[in-house]
Amino acid sequence: MSEATDPWLIVGLGNPGPEYAANRHNVGFMIADLLAERIGGKFKRAQKAQAQVVEGRIGPPGPASRRVILAKPMSYMNLSGGPVTALRDFYKVPTDHIVAIHDELDIDYGMLRLKLGGGDNGHNGLKSMTKSMGSDYHRIRFGIGRPPGRMQVADFVLKDFSSTERKELGYLVDRAADSVECLLAEGLERAQSAYNS
């Protein structure tokens, strides 16, 4: 059973490298970058895992503040489970204190859904994490919608957000980062009622 003092591991899912940076599949990285900025930290290479990490605290000073490790696996999306499990073990994080932030095809663009546990819905990053450590971790699902026409899913997720989508992207990433802070400070039910759309 996890304790209030246990650290949280917040994992933004994406692919490493500048050619992927603005892809739909990398929205988890974008949200993790914003959270790192908010806590005044810079990502650096983790010693014990193929990932970049920032350690800090989220929430108001005092007992409500939560110790967090923000992470971006550097293994490519479909191998995310290895680095996340290594970080979980190194920092001694209970699985229900892990939050995966990822793109979600089955939700309209910019909508959020927060949940604990469940299936991977074909998402390779979640599939890899669940295979490595079970499914009892939190997810923050950021909607990217379905591909238009006959475009293949793999092509769609590895394309940059459209110019229309980019107009709102900053605001939506900001809102997703707020939802992480709310989840840690006030719990899943409160965060779901505030942010699930």
Alpha carbon distance 127, 60 (integer Å): 34
pTM (2 d.p.): 0.96
Going by pLDDT thresholds of 50, 70 and 90, the confidence category of residue 3 is low
For the segment 7-61, what is each residue's pLDDT rounded down to a tens digit? 999 999 999 999 999 999 999 999 999 999 999 999 999 988 999 999 999 987 8
Going by pLDDT thresholds of 50, 70 and 90, the confidence category of residue 1 is low
Average pLDDT of 175-180? 98
Answer whether residue 102 shows pLDDT above 70.
Answer: yes
What's the pLDDT at 87?
97
Going by pLDDT thresholds of 50, 70 and 90, the confidence category of residue 110 is very high
Instruction: Report the DSSP pairing between strands 51-58 and 44-45.
Output: antiparallel
Average pLDDT over the chain, rounded to whole?
95
Given its phi and psi angles, is residue 179 left (phi above 0), alpha (psi -120 to 50 degrees) or beta? alpha
Residue 97 among the catalytic residues: no
